[in-house]
Amino acid sequence: MRRNKRWMFVGTLLAALLASAARAQEEGRLIGWGSQIIPDASELEGLVQVTGGPYHSLGLRQDGSLVQWERRFGALPEPNTGFIDIACGLNHSIALRQDGSVACWGSNSNQQCEVPAPNVDFVAIAALACTNTSEPWGCSIGVKADGRVVTWGHSMPTPQPNFSFIDVAANPTGCAGLKADGTVVTWGIEIMPVFAPGSFYTDVAAGVNHFLALTDGGTNVACGDNAAGQCTIPEPNADFVAIAAGNLFSMGLKENGQLVCWGAITPIPEPNEDFVSMWAGYTQRMALKQNGELRCWGRNDWGQWGPPPDNHDIVAVCDAATAYGSPMYSYFIHRSFALKADGRVMDLLHQSWAPDSGYVSVTVGDWRGVGLKTDGTLRDFDDGPLPEPNEGFVAIASAAYAYAFSTASHPSGYLLALKADGSIVGIENGDGSGHLNIPNPNTDFVAISASRSHALGLKSDGHVVSWGGTTAVPSPNSGFCAITAGEGFSLGLKTDGTVVGWGTNNHGQCDVPAPNTNFVAISAGDSYCLGLKADGTLVQWGTPIGLPMPNEHFAGIFAGNAHFLLGLKGELSAVDDPPGPEDRSPGLELRGLYPNPFNPTVTVDFHTAAPGPVTLEVLDLLGRRVWRDELGQLPAGQHHVRWQGRDQKGANVASGFYVLRVQDDAGHAQSRKALLLR
């Protein structure tokens, strides 16, 4: 028997999968790129300062280099060295180099990234943005070595007289500047609060509508809006060494390494000790521990907290972006879920675990997350409605209907669920425009995919059915083994490793780049596509988003909406043994498994040289038997048999690799691996 084991993992569509939970910690590692960045945990090592805007975060390392994560606003400046201070606005960033120059990147809608000449002699920086107007704006601020304040971007006045400043903090209404004599001066667009004289101040901080100042005696002084108590400093007001301010809340760091929060607060991560620095964003908070550990809490709708905890052994991931705000000014919030190899599900928005386990698949549409369990039942993580009777399901898919301005309590989307008998059922919130009008005959489906514009189903004979508002599947409609629905277009993967695209093609999303061969997985987003090759590399086409480097050892792909891409990476931890006698059997030939990847049914194609009994076995990668089927007496020739992704007791098995093995009574046997993608 051949004992070769190439331990790796692969994923596709709304799932990205792991081959074995017993492998190295590096495997099943989630990364993100495009409009949202999920960095590797190693990239967040050695941080000495963190900051951010409402949708993105920025870190400064000990070596003077920068790292950014969550929503991406421009590429980091090059060379990425020599930085000593950082600041973030709404959608731009600013960094101060050791030589006194300033680098700006991101949105330049108000020229906030155009540093005025001469770009020299800066000693402090700040960035601000305003979102509560019809046209959000940004501004950058710097303090020069001669004590002058310089502003660029949206019109923000400078203080008068403009001299002897050493630091500055800013919010949408104005600025607070710290002077060399220990006084604080406020100025801005509106009438500003005034810090009373008589104290020697050492630091200033700006929230959205309030300011903080720290005295040399370790006490705090606050002024401005106090609607949530953000200016009511808790007792004892003593022993503070650092301050920070956000939207309706304030933070302080004590000499003993503990944090204090007041105003609109969320619980501080425990244990509350050994903190050395902190940062307050719009609603998110970050703090660094003495050992360099980054702790985050508060808002996480764009991944502001960075990579999920225990970022390994992830076997499936899904994400959806929902539009909020108004047509005049809108923004997206991401809801993501990750499935671990042990069957647990994490809500990445809150980085919290579902209270139960035993899941084999997970999907998310407009805010709602749904999990499929081993017993074939579904669970809505937000307690929404589910199809009845809730039993016998083998695959799930969901999507929002449109970029509607919705809330978590008023979702607008739909859920499709594939039954073990090959039929599809669904449930919706809002007007689906035919998304649940599944064409007849509603039988023999083996895979499903959902998008805002339409839905797809794959039949057992390899042809694709489309409904809900998209173009017809091109001819020949046959030989497909995987499907994915994008925004107004579709992709289908054929058993020969080629990809076919059809539908809207305004960004080239249906023009598969050459060579169109050796694809093993596909995923479609709004106007962009991802393909996974058999060698572990990625191909991206349609709207250009790019790929993370190095482009190797990829095993999972997911193209979400709002220009966000996710993937899983991992390393090989075993090498193939030389082929054994099983692979050179003269009487039995296993010619193929299709589709592969599959969900939930795979067809085994084999040939027997002589009549006789044949057995099909399914093993996991630890060698444990999952399924055994005595196929009986078969004539010589070509045969096809299916496995429906269940164990011997009829329960759904988890996503991952399985070894399918056929054997005749003469002892001839052959096996191949197949990937189940629920």
Contacts of 626 (CB under 8 A, 6+ apart): 618, 619, 620, 647, 648, 653, 658
Q: What does 374-409 look like in DSSP terms, one character per residue?
A: TTS-EEETT-----SS---EEEEEEEESS----BTT
Each residue of 480-531: pLDDT tens digit?
Answer: 878 999 989 999 988 788 999 999 999 999 999 999 998 878 889 888 999 9
The residue-averaged pLDDT of 223-229 equals 91
5 closest CA partner among 534, 576, 555, 536: 576
Neighbours of 63 (CB within 10 A): 11
- 531 three-state secondary structure: strand
218: left (phi over 0), alpha (psi -120 to 50) or beta: left
Residue type present at position 381: F
How far CA 305 is from CA of 69, 107, 352, 544, in Å, comes to: 9, 22, 12, 26
Domains and CATH numbers, the chain: 39-298 (2.130.10.30), 583-676 (2.60.40.4070)
Strands 345-347, 330-340: pairing kind: antiparallel
The residue-averaged pLDDT of 585-605 equals 78
Q: 22: pLDDT confidence band, cut at 50, 70 and 90?
A: very low
- Average pLDDT over the chain reads 80
| Proportion of the chain above pLDDT 70, given as a percent | 79
Q: Which one is predicted more confidently, 218 or 322?
A: 218
The residue-averaged pLDDT of 594-601 equals 74
Q: 532: pLDDT confidence band, cut at 50, 70 and 90?
A: confident
What is the rounded distance in angstroms from the CA atom of residue 408 to the CA atom of residue 367? Answer: 6
Q: Which of 53-57, 131-135, 154-158 has the lowest mean pLDDT?
A: 131-135
Site of tokens 């499935």 = 339
Each residue of 58-73: pLDDT tens digit?
Answer: 889 999 999 987 666 6
- 343 three-state secondary structure: coil
- In the chain, the largest separation of any two C-alpha atoms, in whole Å, equals 101
List of E strands, 255-313: 259-263, 275-280, 284-289, 294-298
64: left (phi over 0), alpha (psi -120 to 50) or beta: left
321 closest CA partner among 416, 400, 428: 400
Each residue of 117-143: pLDDT tens digit?
Answer: 999 999 999 998 765 555 567 899 999
Neighbours of 327 (CB within 10 A): 8
List of E strands, 160-200: 165-171, 174-179, 184-188
Q: Positive or negative CA dihedral for 495, 498, 503, 509?
A: positive
How much is the pTM? 0.70
